[in-house]
Each structure stands twice: as structure tokens, then as C-alpha cells.
């Protein structure tokens, strides 16, 4: 009986987290840091779960016109290949706001 209760509570907590991720995405991902702005870009593209699980790596390449280059790996369910590496530039346009431009690499 005790094991069933533990499994039931675990399932309830798991369902709560699954439901709450899309609700929390707009609150947690805003444009005040480059990584958060990239996650906001993914979330606005219609992928709220992938915005939490995307792997974002700084390439340490800075361009004056485009900003800092980031390598982003996430599951794009709309794409044929599903897992496509994206190259995203994050440019600071004003204090606490970043503009993101993403595309697939060569």
C-alpha cells in the first residue's frame, strides 16, 4: 500500500511539471541575457518544452554587426531532421535587451 502511494504522488508531481513548463516559459525566458533571449526565441517559435532542454554553447566569436555567436542544439519537431544545430547571434540592442537571429549552419 505504501509503494502505491509513493508511485501515485510521484506521478502527480511529474504531471504537474509537464503541465507547468509551457506556462512558466514566458515568465522565465525573457530578453535580459543572451541565453534567455535564445530560449525565448525557441519558445516563441512554438516549442515551449524544447526551450528548457536546448543546449546553448558560447562560441566566443563576437561580431560587431551581429553580436555574439552561440551554438544551439534542440529538437525541432517541424524540421525533417528533428535535431538541427542552429547558429544564433545575440546582439545587445539596449540595456537588458538582446536581439536574436538564428539559422542553420553551413
pTM: 0.76
| The pLDDT of residue 105 | 65
Task: Reply yes or no on whether the pLDDT at 11 is more than 90.
Answer: yes
CB 35 within 8 A of CB 102: no
Q: What is the pLDDT of residue 5?
A: 93
Residue 101's SS3 state is strand
Q: Tell me, what's the pLDDT at 21?
A: 78
Q: For residue 24, how many C-alpha atoms fall within 13 Å in the half-sphere facing its CB?
A: 11
How confident is the model at residue 1, as a pLDDT? 75
Model confidence at 102: pLDDT above 90: no
Q: What is the pLDDT of residues 48-74, one digit of tens each?
A: 777 778 888 988 888 888 889 999 888
| DSSP state string for 40-74 | HHHHHTT-HHHHHH-EEEEEEEEETTTEEEEEEEE
Question: What local confidence, expressed as pLDDT, does residue 106 receive?
Answer: 61
HSE (side-chain half, CA atoms, 13 Å) at 82: 0
Residue in the structure block whose three cell numbers are 513548463: 21
Q: What pLDDT does residue 35 have? A: 87
User: Residue 62 is part of which domain span?
Assistant: 2-104
* Total tally of structural domains belonging to the chain: 1
Instruction: Write out pLDDT tens, residues 27-50.
Output: 777 778 888 888 888 888 887 777
Amino acid at each position: 500500500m505504501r509503494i502505491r502511494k509513493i508511485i501515485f504522488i510521484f506521478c502527480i508531481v511529474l504531471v504537474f511539471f509537464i503541465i507547468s513548463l509551457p506556462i512558466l516559459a514566458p515568465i522565465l525566458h525573457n530578453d535580459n541575457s543572451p541565453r534567455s533571449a535564445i530560449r525565448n526565441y525557441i519558445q516563441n517559435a512554438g516549442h515551449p518544452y524544447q526551450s528548457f532542454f536546448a543546449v546553448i554553447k558560447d562560441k566566443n566569436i563576437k561580431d560587431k554587426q551581429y553580436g555574439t555567436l552561440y551554438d544551439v542544439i534542440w529538437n525541432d519537431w517541424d524540421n525533417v531532421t528533428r535535431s538541427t544545430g542552429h547558429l544564433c547571434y545575440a546582439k545587445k540592442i539596449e540595456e537588458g535587451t538582446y536581439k536574436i537571429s538564428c539559422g542553420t549552419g553551413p
